[in-house]
């Protein structure tokens, strides 16, 4: 989860200071998405990077002696704010990333993950492109641009920027929102996306015809010679396969040099109404997309704002074009062209330029009213990101890079202690059983504060696992220091890269859920849960007796993102329950057993912290030891009745409730006939979720509770993102 911003001005005089301000302001707007490091590229190839927030970047810019009054009639700048997933937040890992440290020939900013970056890197190094500077996956994109560019130049071919991009994209696997600029394509920029949002804001004072842009396909260009007198004939990329190589070399027909740059003189020419001559002189390229020509047919002064998020564009313009996956936007000479590598049946031939009617706060939250709701809905994606590049679903292999070297030591441990607070503690509870089953190491779980209060004994051969979204929680950090002092091996399961906990532990796993802004933890819980399961899977990968179970769990994990999406469809039902059965209730019991005890505790925590309604998670087996006294026809009860080995016991606990006139709401598996039958002719309410492997069921069961806590709070008029008395990161004891 990073932020991309690009700014291009054509035939509008802007000082370097103004350009820098626009880029920096754009980043400030994106900071809420990721904020551990930032960077910009301006002029022909100047890179400025800094760790920390945009403020630190501003200071870094001020340190450099730049003439802020220099004027650029046309200029392309790109910028990035990062939430590290690949590579620690260090200067070398900040974007923009470049193809070569000496000349920065190709400079990119990238959101997303390139999953085949290791193969690409190996290939490029073999080819002599070995000046990798960073630990990022993104750097290989910039170097790949240079490799393909150089190869073609050696064959006497200068590709157009968009054609070069098509060849680069052919080699990338994974997801990307990507901007690229180059000293070889002066004042041109490429913007392309796959699975990561990217949009282009357009601003001009001239009356432009700006309703839509034609999409350009390779064949079209061939047919359009009459219109495109300046465009060379074009053939589809022809992979000249060399079977020993991962990458292929490509050849394209000779292409025209890029047009010369527009200098200060151009503005004078525009001012003097001499643009027709200038246009000729500078060999202006035309295509079938004339959307950005003014009424007199000449290019108009224009600005483009490229961003991963409309929040940074809205200040400048409300006219935006949202790129679609595989679109390649090519901007040069004030024109915007959208290319695609191939024509798909039924695909739209145009991209419309829409007028945004939203306010800023609305945009940051997307269609959601609160960050919490947004984060609940992000879970299909965030859980996938936790697993991305780490699980091979074909071979049932799990590779947690941050743990590999430590696994032999961990396997030798006599015991493992998981230590955390709040929701993070619940993720430990939810996964303890599967951890013990797979690793065959006894696991104890500890609330950090209690662990410290007891001064629990810790030994050198203990493995202590610290789970934290923020990586800054004071109790967890103190417990970590306590264990470090006693010589234990410490492992972190952390969302925030570069956080204190991530840095201080010996090793660990970043859960890669992206920034969590809502105070109530939602997507971090499901990602921690998955990270801990992956940890257990890694520990057991050498045990033959566990292979069947491991395979079952890994295949179960593959389906989880899609199944979470299905559970989110329950929202209207849940909202209705909150509007009626649960309205004005003062208290709520949640019953769960086995794997679902953690769901009960986590559900209860969500409800109390957000809706201020008393709620209590109870181990269903404990009901008869006291809690049953509370049950009557009025007390709302939610019970987890999904299928696992404890199902008969859960049914019996729920029967104890109904026998006391209780009306539980049952979270059960889709079409489960036990509950369907019980619901017939009774007022038993069911919320059906898909079935998965027993140890993963909690990932799906918690979603209805997250939604319920959200709607209970909204109905009470509570500001869900800022519940009273709570802060996102608890950095005090
Ligand atoms: C790491 C890189 C990732 C790169 C991948 C492949 C980072 C943040 N991640 O991901 O960019 O694509 O290698 O080479 O650089 N760690 C702790 N404590 C914690 C969490 C993590 O010490 O609480 C350590 C890990 O042991 C590891 C490093 O931080 O050394 C990165 O962890 P993680 O991001 O989980 O590793 P990979 O998934 O391998
Ligand atoms: C609940 C919640 C808290 C945190 C707890 C630990 O929704 O957010 O209970 O889980 O304060 O925080 P981290 O995980 O940042 O250590």
Q: What is the pLDDT of residue 280?
A: 31
Q: For residue 36, report the distance from its CA to the centre of ligand 1, in Å.
A: 15
> How far is C-alpha 6 from the geometric centre of its chain's CA atoms?
19
Among the listed ranges 298-312, 391-405, 533-547, 559-573, which one has the minimum average pLDDT value? Answer: 298-312
The closest ligand to the CA of 490 turns out to be 1
708 lines ligand 2 (CB under 6 A): no
Topology of the domain covering 371-715: Rossmann fold (3.40.50)
Residue 264 pLDDT greater than 80, yes or no? no
Tell me what pLDDT residue 287 has.
41
| pLDDT for position 229 | 30
Q: Is the distance from the beta carbon of residue 423 to the nearest atom of ligand 2 less than 6 Å?
A: yes
pLDDT at 89 over 50: yes
For the beta carbon of residue 55, count every other beta carbon within 10 angstroms.
Answer: 14
pLDDT for the residue 232: 30
Q: How far is the CA of 423 from the centre of ligand 2 (A)?
A: 5
Residue 93: nearest ligand to its CA?
Answer: 1
Q: What is the mean pLDDT of residues 26-49?
A: 86
Mean pLDDT of 53-69: 91
Distance CA 398, CA 395 (A): 9
Ligand at shortest distance from the CA of 534: 1
Q: 3-217+284-355 has which CATH code?
A: 3.60.20.10
Atom of ligand 2 nearest to the CA of 729: 15
Residue nearest to atom 37 of ligand 1 (CA): 401
520 CA closest ligand 2 atom index? 7
Active-site entry in 2, 180, 464, 507: 2
Whether residue 243 has pLDDT greater than 60: no
Pocket lining: 421 vs ligand 2, CB cutoff 6 Å: yes
Buried b (16+ CB within 10 A) or exposed e, 157-174: bbbbbbbbbbbbbebbeb
What is the whole-number distance in angstroms between the Cα of residue 88 and the centre of ligand 1? Answer: 8
Specify the residue with its C-alpha closest to ligand 1, atom 14: 401
Q: Which atom of ligand 1 is nearest to the CA of 501?
A: 23
Contact residues for 615 (Cβ-Cβ < 8 A; gap 6+): 587, 588, 589, 590, 603, 604, 607, 608
DSSP secondary structure of 475-529: HHHHHHHHHHHTT-EEEEEESSTT-HHHHHSSEEEE-------SSS--HHHHHHH
Predicted confidence (pLDDT) per residue in 107-124, tens digit: 999 988 898 999 999 999
Q: Are 451 and 481 a contacting pair, CB within 8 Å? A: no
As a whole-number percent, the residues of the chain with pLDDT over 90 amount to 64
Which ligand has the nearest atom to the CA of 500?
Answer: 1
**Ligand 1 center–CA 379 separation, angstroms:** 21
d(CA 727, CA 730) in angstroms, rounded, equals 6
Which atom of ligand 1 is nearest the CA belonging to 506? 22
Q: What is the 3-state secondary structure (H, E, C) of 518-541?
A: CCCCCHHHHHHHHHHHHHHHHHCC
Substitution candidate for ligand 2 out of 521, 610, 702, 733 with most atoms within 8 A of CB = 521
Report in angstroms the alpha-carbon separations of 38 from 33, 91, 252.
Answer: 12, 9, 36
- Count the residues in the chain: 733
On the question of pLDDT at 206 being above 90, the answer is no
Inform me whether the pLDDT recorded for 730 exceeds 80. Answer: no
Q: Is 476 in the pocket of ligand 2 (CB under 6 A)?
A: yes
Residue 715 scores a pLDDT above 70: yes
Question: What DSSP assignment string belongs to 36-97?
Answer: SEEEEEETTTEEEEEESSHHHHHHHHHHS---TT-EESSEEEEEEEE--SSS-S-GGGSSSE
Mean pLDDT of the chain: 85
Of all protein residues, the one whose alpha carbon is nearest to atom 2 of ligand 1 is 86
584 vs 161: which has the higher pLDDT: 161
- From the alpha carbon of 524, which atom of ligand 2 is closest? 14
Whose Cα sits closest to atom 35 in ligand 1? 509
Q: Does residue 210 have its Cβ closer than 6 Å to ligand 2?
A: no
Residue 722 binned pLDDT confidence (cut-offs 50, 70, 90): confident
pLDDT over 60 (residue 249): no
Q: In percent, how much of the chain has pLDDT > 70?
A: 85
Maximal C-alpha separation, the chain? 92
Q: How far is the CA of 306 from the centre of ligand 2 (A)?
A: 35
Which of 34, 135, 427, 508 is the best mutation target for the ligand 1 pocket, counting ligand atoms within 8 Å of the beta carbon and taking the most? 508
CB atoms within 10 A of CB 392: 11
2 is catalytic: yes
Above 60 in pLDDT, residue 105? yes
Mean pLDDT score, 370-381: 94
Structure-model confidence comparison of residues 274 and 390, the more confident one:
390
Indicate if ligand 2 lies below 6 Å from the C-beta of 478. no
Q: Which of 5-9, 162-166, 315-319, 703-707 has the lowest mean pLDDT?
A: 315-319
With 90 as the cut, is the pLDDT of residue 393 above it?
yes
**Lowest mean pLDDT: which of 312-326, 648-662, 712-726?**
712-726
Ligand 1 atom closest to the CA of 135, numbered from 1:
11
Does the beta carbon of 474 sit less than 6 angstroms from any atom of ligand 2? no
| Cα–ligand 1 centroid distance for 509 (angstroms) | 6
Arithmetic mean of pLDDT, 254-265: 27
Least confident of 29-33, 288-292, 524-528: 288-292
Distance 424 CA to ligand 1 centre (A): 19
Q: What is the mean pLDDT of residues 308-318?
A: 86
Residue among 402, 497, 503, 534 to mutate when testing ligand 1 (max atoms within 8 A of CB): 402
Closest ligand 1 atom, residue 390 Cα: 38
Strand extents, DSSP E, 359-503: 391-392, 397-398, 416-420, 443-447, 463-468, 489-494
- Reported as a single tens digit per residue, the pLDDT across 92-103 is 889 999 999 999
Q: Which tens digit of pLDDT belongs to each residue from 336-351?
A: 999 999 888 778 889 9
- Please tell me what DSSP assigns to residue 261: P
Q: How far is the CA of 630 from the centre of ligand 2 (A)?
A: 29
Question: Rounded to an integer, what distance in angstroms lies between the CA atom of residue 504 and that of residue 520?
Answer: 25
- Strands 319-322 and 354-355, sheet pairing: antiparallel
Residue 521 Cα to ligand 2 middle (Å): 6
Find out whether the beta carbon of 427 lies less than 6 Å from any atom of ligand 2.
no
Indicate if ligand 2 lies below 6 Å from the C-beta of 502: no
Q: Quote the ligand 1 centre to 86 CA distance (angstroms).
A: 7
- Indicate whether 661 pLDDT > 90: no
pLDDT surpassing 80 at residue 603? yes
> What pLDDT is stored for residue 327 in this prediction?
96
Give the SS3 label for residue 618: strand
CA 44 to chain centre: 30
- Scanning 211-312, the segments in alpha helix (DSSP H) are 218-223, 264-271, 275-281
The answer to pTM > 0.75 is no
Q: Output the CA 422–ligand 2 centroid distance in Å.
A: 5
pLDDT range class, residue 732, cuts 50, 70, 90: low
CB atoms within 10 A of CB 670: 11
Distance 425 CA to ligand 2 centre (A): 8
Which residue, by CA, sits nearest to atom 7 of ligand 1?
87
Q: Name all residues whose Cβ lies below 6 A of ligand 1.
A: 84-88, 135, 137, 401-402, 492, 494, 497, 501-502, 505, 507-510
Cβ of 520 below 6 Å from ligand 2: yes
Question: What DSSP letter does each residue of 704-719 carry, written as one string?
Answer: HHHHHHHHHHHHTT--
What is the position in ligand 2's atom list of the atom closest to the CA of 525?
10
**pLDDT digits 0-9 by tens, 454-488:** 999 999 999 999 999 989 898 999 999 999 999 99
pLDDT at 62: 92
Residue 186 has pLDDT above 90, yes or no: yes
pLDDT of residue 242: 34
User: Which of 172, 150, 63 has its CA nearest to residue 103?
Assistant: 150
Domain spans of the chain?
A: 3-217+284-355, 224-271, 371-715
> Could you identify the atom of ligand 2 that is nearest to the CA of residue 501?
16
């Amino acid at each position: 989860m990073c932020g991309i911003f690009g700014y291009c001005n054509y035939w509008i005089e802007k000082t370097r200071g103004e350009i820098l301000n626009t880029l920096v302001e754009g980043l400030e707007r994106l900071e809420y998405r990721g904020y551990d490091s930032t960077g910009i590229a301006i002029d022909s190839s100047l890179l400025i990077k800094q760790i920390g927030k945009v403020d630190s970047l501003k200071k870094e810019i001020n340190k450099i002696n730049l003439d802020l009054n220099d004027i650029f009639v046309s200029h392309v700048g790109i910028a990035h704010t990062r939430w590290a997933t690949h590579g620690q937040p260090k200067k070398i890992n900040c974007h923009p990333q470049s193809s070569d440290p000496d000349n920065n020939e190709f400079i990119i900013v990238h959101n997303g993950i390139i999953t085949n970056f290791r193969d690409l890197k190996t290939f490029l190094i073999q080819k002599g492109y070995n000046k990798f500077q960073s630990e990022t996956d993104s750097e290989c994109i910039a170097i790949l641009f240079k490799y393909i560019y150089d190869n073609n130049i050696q064959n006497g071919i200068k590709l157009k920027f968009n054609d070069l991009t098509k060849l680069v994209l052919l080699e990338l696997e994974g997801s990307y929102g990507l901007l690229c600029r180059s000293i070889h394509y002066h004042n041109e920029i490429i913007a392309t996306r796959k699975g990561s949002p990217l949009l282009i804001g357009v601003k001009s004072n001239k009356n432009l015809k700006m309703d839509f842009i034609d999409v350009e396909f390779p064949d079209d260009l061939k047919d359009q010679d009459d219109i495109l007198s300046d465009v060379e004939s074009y053939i589809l990329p022809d992979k000249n396969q060399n079977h020993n190589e991962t990458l292929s070399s490509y050849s394209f027909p000779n292409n025209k040099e890029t047009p010369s740059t527009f200098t200060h003189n151009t503005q004078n020419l525009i001012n003097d109404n001499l643009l027709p001559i200038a246009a000729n002189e500078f060999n202006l390229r035309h295509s079938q997309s004339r959307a950005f020509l003014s009424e007199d047919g000449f290019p108009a002064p224009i600005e483009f704002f490229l961003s991963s998020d409309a929040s940074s564009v809205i200040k400048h313009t409300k006219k935006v074009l949202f790129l679609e996956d595989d679109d390649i936007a090519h901007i040069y000479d004030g024109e915007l062209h959208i290319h695609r590598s191939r024509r798909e049946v039924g695909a739209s031939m145009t991209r419309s330029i829409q007028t945004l009617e939203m306010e800023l706060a609305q945009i940051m939250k997307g269609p959601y009213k609160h960050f919490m709701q947004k984060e609940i809905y992000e879970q299909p994606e965030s859980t996938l990101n936790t697993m991305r590049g780490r699980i091979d679903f074909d071979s049932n292999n799990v590779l947690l890079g941050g743990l590999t070297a430590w696994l032999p030591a961990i396997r030798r441990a006599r015991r493992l202690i998981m230590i955390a607070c709040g929701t993070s503690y619940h993720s430990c509870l939810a996964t303890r059983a599967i951890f013990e089953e797979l690793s065959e190491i006894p696991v104890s779980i500890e609330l950090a504060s209690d662990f410290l209060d007891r001064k629990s004994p810790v030994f050198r051969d203990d493995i202590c696992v610290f789970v934290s979204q923020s990586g800054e929680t004071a109790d967890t950090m103190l417990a970590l220091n306590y264990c470090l002092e006693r010589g234990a091996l410490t492992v972190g399961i952390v969302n925030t890269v570069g956080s204190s906990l991530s840095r201080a532990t010996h090793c660990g796993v970043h859960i890669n859920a992206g920034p969590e802004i809502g105070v109530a933890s939602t997507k971090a819980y499901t990602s921690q849960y998955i990270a801990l399961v992956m940890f257990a899977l890694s520990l057991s990968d050498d045990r033959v007796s566990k292979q069947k179970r491991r395979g079952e769990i890994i295949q179960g994990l593959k389906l989880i993102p899609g199944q979470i999406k299905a559970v989110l469809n329950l929202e209207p039902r849940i909202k209705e329950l909150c509007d009626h059965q649960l309205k004005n209730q003062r208290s709520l019991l949640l019953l769960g057993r086995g794997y679902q005890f953690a769901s009960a505790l986590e559900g209860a925590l969500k409800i109390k912290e957000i809706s201020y309604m008393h709620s209590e998670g109870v181990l269903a087996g404990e009901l008869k030891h006291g809690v049953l006294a509370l049950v009557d026809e009025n007390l709302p009860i939610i019970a987890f009745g999904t299928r696992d080995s404890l199902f008969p016991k859960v049914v019996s606990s729920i029967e104890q409730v109904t026998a006391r006139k209780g009306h539980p709401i049952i979270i059960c598996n889709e079409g489960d006939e036990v509950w369907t039958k019980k619901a017939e002719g009774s007022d038993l309410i069911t919320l059906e979720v898909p079935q998965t492997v027993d140890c993963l069921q909690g990932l799906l069961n918690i979603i209805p509770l997250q939604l319920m806590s959200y709607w209970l709070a909204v109905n009470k008029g509570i500001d869900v993102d800022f519940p009273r008395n709570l802060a996102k990161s608890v950095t005090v004891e």
